[in-house]
Amino acid sequence: MAKDVKCEVNNCKFWAEGNRCHADIIYVVSHTGHSAATEEETDCQTFEPSV
């Protein structure tokens, strides 16, 4: 399991200094079903805009 999850989307409410993600759970989905061949075929569904 990863110790640090990096994120460069600084307008996400889970973003923290050092490009760290502080979400309790990370949810990533594929656009092509249950598998993906490239990172472009995936999205992080954990994102929530910061207020």
The CA-atom distances, in angstroms, between 49 and each of 10, 11, 37, 46 are 9, 6, 28, 10
The pLDDT score that the predictor gives to residue 47 is: 95
The pLDDT score that the predictor gives to residue 1 is: 75
Task: State what percent of residues in the chain have pLDDT above 70.
Answer: 100
Number of domains in the chain: 1
d(CA 5, CA 43): 15
The pLDDT score that the predictor gives to residue 19 is: 96
d(CA 33, CA 10): 28
DSSP code per residue over 20-45: EE--SS--EEETTSS--SSGGGEEET
Mean pLDDT by runs of 10 across the 51 residues of the chain is 90 96 95 94 95 84
The pLDDT score that the predictor gives to residue 51 is: 84
Query: pTM to 2 decimals?
Result: 0.79
The pLDDT score that the predictor gives to residue 36 is: 96
Host domain of residue 9: 1-51
